[in-house]
Amino acid sequence: MDEDKRSRRRGGREQTTADILDAAEKLFSERGFTAVTVRDIAAEAGVSHALVHRYLGSKQDVYRAILALNEGAFVASAADHDELLTATSLMLREGLAHQRRYVRLIAHSALHGLSYERTVGRFSATERLVELAQAGAEGGDAWDPDAVDPRFVIASVVALFIGWISAEDWVLRASGLADLSDAEIVDSLERVIFGMLRDNIPGAEGGSMG
């Protein structure tokens, strides 16, 4: 097989794999992991279920590939920044702009009994924020050994973010804020999260990317 044919085949496989992952992410976010079958994913992607197995493996393998792909995008959005607030801002904006469906998938998985052990076993974006939070807390002039554990602070921020994306329309309407623009929502959410970080992590540094 000549190089041009090999290149076209690789390109075709990469696009088909991306289509399968996109279809699976859509279905998992809407129905949850347990309610979706490989045949459902294949039908949504317009391929055979045998091809899904051949390219990606089992349904569990597909799910883990989605997690790894999206977590990588979150980390990449802040790869060049070591300040906690700046990295948080970049990841927040990445999530709001491009990763809403993935975040809803995470929420659906957590709320419908899919155990943590059945995921990839690690979430690199959260780990990166924990790393920055711990470094900032330990290096801060006002470090208090009795302060809230930086890991718990990040866990709270992540939970807020997941909950926000999952219920944004409801909570805005319930609070009389349905007329806010997208820019106002992002700015306000960022300020709330920054407040949580600054209040609990003395060494938190950085600022808004807006």
Q: Does 200 reside within a domain?
A: yes
Q: Give every CB contact of residue 168 below 8 A, 6+ residues apart in sequence.
A: 185
Q: What is the pLDDT of residue 78?
A: 96
Q: Say if residue 8's pLDDT is above 60.
A: no
Same domain assignment for residues 20 and 92: no
Q: Note the pLDDT tens digit of each residue in 22-42.
A: 999 999 999 989 899 999 999
State the residue range of the domain holding 16.
1-57
Same domain assignment for residues 166 and 197: yes
Calculate the alpha carbon distances from 30 to 26, 101, 132, 154, 195 in Å.
6, 9, 33, 27, 32
Same domain assignment for residues 52 and 76: no
CATH of the domain at 22: 1.10.10.60
Q: Note the pLDDT tens digit of each residue in 30-86.
A: 998 989 999 999 999 999 999 999 999 999 999 999 999 999 999 999 998 999 999
Q: What is the pLDDT of residue 103?
A: 94
Q: Does 50 reside within a domain?
A: yes
Q: Does 63 reside within a domain?
A: no
Q: Note the pLDDT tens digit of each residue in 113-150.
A: 788 888 877 899 999 999 999 988 876 555 566 789 99
Same domain assignment for residues 167 and 98: yes
Q: Say if residue 5's pLDDT is above 80.
A: no
Q: Note the pLDDT tens digit of each residue in 182-208.
A: 999 999 999 999 999 999 987 786 655
Task: Kindly state the average pLDDT of the residues 6-15.
Answer: 66
pTM: 0.85
Q: Total structural domains in the chain?
A: 2
